[in-house]
A and B are shown apart, each in its own frame.
Chain A
Amino acid sequence: METASLKHAEAAEAFLRDEENADWHNETLWFVRSKRDRAAHSLPEWEQLREQASQIKTHTLSRLDDYLIQLEENAKKNGITVHWAANGDEHNRIVHSILQQHNASKIVKSKSMLTEECHLNPYLIERGIEVIDTDLGERIIQLRNEPPSHIVMPAIHLKKKHIGDLFHQHLGTEAGAEDPQYLTEAARIHLRQKFLMADVAITGVNFAIAETGGFVVCTNEGNADLGAHLAKVHIACMGIEKVIPKAEHLGVFLRLLTRSATGQPITTFSSHFRKPGPGQEMHLVLVDNGRTRQLASPDFRNSLKCIRCGACMNTCPVYRRSGGHSYHTAVAGPIGSILAPNIDMKEYADLPFASTLCGSCSNVCPVKIDIHQQLYKWRQVLGEAGAVESSKKMGMSGMDVLFSHPWLYRFAGRAGRWLMQKFPSLANKPSLNPWAIHRDMPKPPAQSFRDWYAEQNKKTNG
């Protein structure tokens, strides 16, 4: 238990040891965040657009059964075979059985966080299937035998030197070559062969539309399309929360998704699949894997509105400074820290603590998920369940006491500032404050805002 809940902090410490890389990671993600800001500010209706998106998702969750039934019915009419999977294991078995029916041994797969969550790749590889991830970032980490560290930028933890070495070893590029253009071209040639030879293509789903029985897949590289249109069989895998009621709602989500993710106005390819192509077969796998449990929890069901844009990661001071792998789960960062404990509370008990609760994540989230509040709620749930390692629990129950006693909170604030001014090393002691490892606590202000405000008030009034 103790070790499980310390995983994130330990991994973060390891990540921070390569200072140069850690700084680059931090700054690069902040740059992506600022591109997001510019894109958001370019639309005067941005906040209302978020509100519409949030309401569409809230509505959909409140009628999720109806929309899934409608999706299934319409998809079947379109000639798509629909499957339901209770968990990752059933999902993997369904995919594998489709491959067996077609004697398929070569698969190309575009980015799908769901298949990461279900650990589809190792499942298929163990059964003798060649699975090639075709998104460039995913291919890079697949060759390195690593999981993605970010849901939109899977290889953001790597520098071009790492990728140059990797491609030299696996794709035969020149030793020491680091030019991104050259390396991308090498990957293009390598993957083109894989696209042309694949028996089956697997893709994720960004949005499934109940009204049309179709689904939308967004990529910048065009890899989902090359796979799906060339292979005889297309299997699309989605979590049940990906359904939306109508095609017109796509207008709202597609305007938000990439502006939030990378600051682009839209992905290069937003592909709307509705029927299998001539001579092709199309399957849609609907996966629960804990989502109905999350839906049943009023505190956490909002997390199911997520459209996987990654904005909450790019803005998160902890994510930027600890790297995606430190979260030891398929979806990292603030949203992943809400989703993961729902799947395995013990294993991921540390994640809701990998946050400063600054609220930046909630501010950028295009579907207005109250991310930081859910993280705080998880801390309470985990504390009650006894799943929290003792030093963090003490800090947390202390916080609970503070929050429920406003006078004590005011006093503790003043006392804290006094203590930190006199003994700054105290708060920086890792044993007392797990967040102080590799982080210097900010200098305490001489006067708190509350004290300052009171003083100003006195001045003006008296």
Chain B
Amino acid sequence: MAESTTRDTILAAIRRGKPDVQPLPATIGFAPNMASDQFADTFLTMVKNNGGQAIRVTSLDEVNAFLGNEYDLTLPVLSRVSGLDISNFTPAEDLRLLDDLHLVVLEGKVGVAENAAIWVDEPVMGIRALPFITLNLALVVSEKNIVGNMHQAYPRIDTSVGFGAFIAGPSKTADIEQSLVIGAHGSKTLTVFLLADAGH
């Protein structure tokens, strides 16, 4: 069967078989289960619950100092956070060479307090594979960009980008006897820096 015919056959079968139109819910989503002054603390707690490391900072200098302590910055490092100039790695055309990356630092655009999911999109990544292929990932999120729950997150993210992901922790699996193992395929660690709003 030609594909165009298949399309028409499927659509015709749907039209024959579908029920009468049912309404969408009058409202979608719910208000957060916490006051907005609890967003930051809840977010940091959830980052840890997801297996990540959560650090409060007041400047990028602190981020820089922390990363310098934690990681060997002479290994391949790529930072795409402006003002955090610790990159020593230039991506080549061949994406496979990204496999060498030891640390990638990106800006998280929105953080969700309820589950510590952090929105990272293509403009922030530059290369889509970056946050997944690197051994260690660090995300810097501004406190003003923390929202309560997923319903508050969607209006804040740009869904017109080619790609974006909510990242909630380092890669993990429990496929062997339900034992949690951190570092399945993607980054083995996630460090989240919560950057206090200027003036605080």
Q: Are A251 and B18 in contact (CB under 8 A)?
A: no
- Find chain A residues with CB under 8 A from B107 CB: none
Question: In the complex, which residues 126-177 of chain A have their Cβ closer than 8 Å to any Cβ of chain B?
Answer: 134-137, 140, 153-156, 158-160, 163
Provide the bound-state CA to CA distance between A51 and B28, in Å: 10
Residues of B near A209 (CB, < 8 A) are 159
- Contacts between chains A and B (CB distance < 8 A), count: 259
Question: Once the chains bind, are B154 and A248 in contact (CB under 8 Å)?
Answer: yes
* A11 CB–B CB distance under 8 Å: no
Question: Shortest beta-carbon distance, A436 to chain B, in Å?
Answer: 30
Cβ-neighbour of B24 out of A56, A268, A269 (below 8 A): A56
Instruction: Name A84's contact: one of B10, B129, B160, B183 (CB within 8 Å).
Output: B10
Q: How far is the CA of A276 from the CA of B163 in the complex (A)?
A: 8
Contact between chains at A62 and B22 (CB < 8 Å): yes
When chains A and B are docked, how far (Å) is the Cα of A78 from the Cα of B161? 10
* Known contacts A51-B25, A230-B133: A153-B175 contact under CB 8 Å: yes
Q: A55-B25, A222-B186, A225-B165 are contacts. A163–B171 as well, Cβ < 8 Å? A: no
A84: nearest chain-B partner, CB-CB:
B7
- Which residues of chain A are near B171, meaning CB under 8 Å? 220-222, 268-269
Find the A residue at minimum CB distance from B180.
A180
Main secondary structure of the interface of A (DSSP, over half): helix
Number of interface residues of A (CB under 8 A): 96
Q: Kindly state the separation between the CA atoms of A65 and B18 in the bound complex, as whole angstroms.
A: 9
B176 touches A180 (CB 8 A): yes
Asked if A335 lies at the interface with its beta carbon under 8 angstroms from chain B, I say no
Q: Is A48 an interface residue (CB 8 A)?
A: yes
Contact: A269 with B6, CB < 8 Å?
A: no
Range, interface on chain B: 35 or more
B29 contacts partner chain A, Cβ-Cβ < 8 Å: yes
User: Which residues of chain B (56-105) have a CB below 8 Å from chain A?
Assistant: 95-96, 99
Distance in angstroms from B99 CB to nearest chain A CB is 6
Residue of B nearest to A245 (CB): B24
Question: In whole Å, how far is B118's beta carbon from the nearest beta carbon of chain A?
Answer: 11
Any chain A CB within 8 A of the CB of B172? yes
B199 at the interface (CB under 8 A from A): no
Evaluate contact between B129 and A226: CB separation under 8 angstroms: yes
Which residues of chain B from 1 to 47 have any CB-CB distance to chain A below 8 Å in the complex?
Answer: 1, 3, 6-7, 9-11, 13-25, 28-30, 33, 46
Most buried by B among A191, A223, A240, A251: A251
Assess A265 versus B25: contact at CB under 8 Å? Given A61-B19, A271-B163, A288-B10.
no
- Tell me the smallest distance from the CB of B85 to a CB of chain A, in Å: 25
Nearest chain A CB to B10 CB, angstrom units: 5
In the bound assembly, the distance between CA atoms of A242 and B102 in angstroms comes to 37
Chain B contacts of A51 at CB under 8 A? 25
Measured between C-beta atoms, what is the minimum distance from A418 to chain B in Å? 44
Bound CA–CA A155/B169 (angstroms): 23
B136 at the interface (CB under 8 A from A): no
* B1 touching A90, Cβ below 8 Å: yes
B168 proximal to A (CB < 8 A): yes
B155 cross-chain contacts in A, Cβ below 8 A: 248
Which residues of A307-359 are within 8 A (CB) of B? none
Contact of A255 with B150 in the complex, beta carbons under 8 Å: yes
Chain A window 111-139, contacts with chain B (Cβ cutoff 8 Å), 1 for yes, 0 for no = 00000000000000000000000111100
A240 to B9, CA, bound (A): 13
Closest to A254 in B: B150
With A155-B176, A192-B185 known, 11 other A-B pairs at CB within 8 A are: A62-B21, A65-B14, A86-B6, A184-B175, A222-B186, A225-B186, A247-B159, A248-B28, A251-B29, A266-B168, A296-B17
**B interface, CB within 8 angstroms of A:** 1, 3, 6-7, 9-11, 13-25, 28-30, 33, 46, 49-50, 95-96, 99, 112, 114-117, 127-129, 132-133, 149-151, 153-155, 159-179, 181, 183-187
Please name 6 pairs of A and B residues whose Cβ atoms are closer than 8 Å in the assembled complex, sorted by A. Answer: A52-B28, A188-B185, A192-B99, A195-B185, A251-B151, A265-B168
Taking Cβ atoms with an 8 Å cutoff, the residues of A that contact B are: 28, 31-32, 43-45, 48-49, 51-52, 55-56, 58-59, 61-65, 68-69, 78, 83-86, 90, 94, 134-137, 140, 153-156, 158-160, 163, 180-181, 183-185, 187-188, 191-192, 195-196, 209, 212, 214, 220-223, 225-226, 229-230, 240, 245, 247-252, 254-255, 262, 265-277, 286, 288, 292-293, 295-298, 301
